Chain A
Amino acid sequence: GNSVTQMEGPVTLSEEAFLTINCTYTATGYPSLFWYVQYPGEGLQLLLKATKADDKGSNKGFEATYRKETTSFHLEKGSVQVSDSAVYFCALRSKSGGYNKLIFGAGTRLAVHP
C-alpha cells in the first residue's frame, strides 16, 4: 500500500544553518506530494506541494522537488530561523479505494536555537 517515511527527529540546528528533512514514499500511480507544518498548539498548515515529477514546491524559503526516480520529496531551507521550530509532516495524496486519501509520515520535529 501507499506509505511515507520521514527521517526521525528531533533535528536541532543553530540559526542560519542549512536544513534538510528527508522524505521517501511508496505509491501506485502518480500521487501529489505535500509538506505540512505544525507550530506548537496549532493544527497543520500546508507549507508546499508538488503534483508531478520534477515539480518544485516552494514557500517561505522552503523548497522540495518531486523526484520520481528516487521516490523522494526532501524538504530544504538554506538558512533556518528560530521561528521555523515546528513539526514537519511529509504527505502524499492519491486515489485509494475510490477516494482521495492523504497519507502522512510520522513527522519530524525541528528545533532551531539562536
Chain B
Amino acid sequence: DVKVTQSSRYLVKRTGEKVFLECVQDMDHENMFWYRQDPGLGLRLIYFSYDVKMKEKGDIPEGYSVSREKKERFSLILESASTNQTSMYLCASSTPGQGSSPLHFGNGTRLTVT
C-alpha cells in the first residue's frame, strides 16, 4: 500500500531555531511536495520537487528551504523558525506528468514555534 511517512506528528521549537521536517515515501514517486495547512486558508504549496536535487518554489516559499538528496526523502527546513510558521505541515508525493494523478499525503506534522 502507498505510504508517505512524516517523522514527527508534533514538534515544539523556539523562535530562531533551525527546524528540519522529514518525509519519506515508499512508492518510487518522482514528485514530492510540502504544503502548510491553516484554518480558513486550506493548503498552500511551499516547495515542490520533481526529481532528486531538483526543486521549485511554490506559493509561499519565504522562510523555508528544502533538500532532496534521495528520491524517497524530501526535507523541509525552517532556517530560523518564527511564530508565524506555527502550522500543520503536510508532505505529499505523486507520479509525474499526468495531470490526473492524485497526491498521496502523510499524516502531517503539527509544528508550534514559541
Contact = CB atoms under 8 A, between A and B. Distances in A.
Interface of A: 4, 31-32, 34, 36, 41-46, 49, 51, 89, 93-95, 97, 99-102, 104-107
5 contacts: A4-B42, A44-B90, A93-B100, A99-B50, A101-B58
Interface in B1-57: 4, 31, 33, 35, 40-45, 48, 50, 56
Interface residues of B, number: 30
Interface of B: 4, 31, 33, 35, 40-45, 48, 50, 56, 58, 90, 92, 94, 96-108
A34 B48 contact: no
Mostly, the A contact residues are strand
Closest A-B pairs by Cβ, 3 of them: A43-B105, A104-B42, A46-B102
Given A43-B90, A49-B100, A95-B99, A89 B42 contact: yes
B53 to A, nearest CB: 16
B48 A89 contact: no
A32 B101 CA distance: 9
Given A101-B45, A101-B48, A106 B103 contact: no
Contacts of B97: 100
Given A99-B48, A104-B43, A106-B41, A44 B99 contact: no
B107 A42 contact: yes
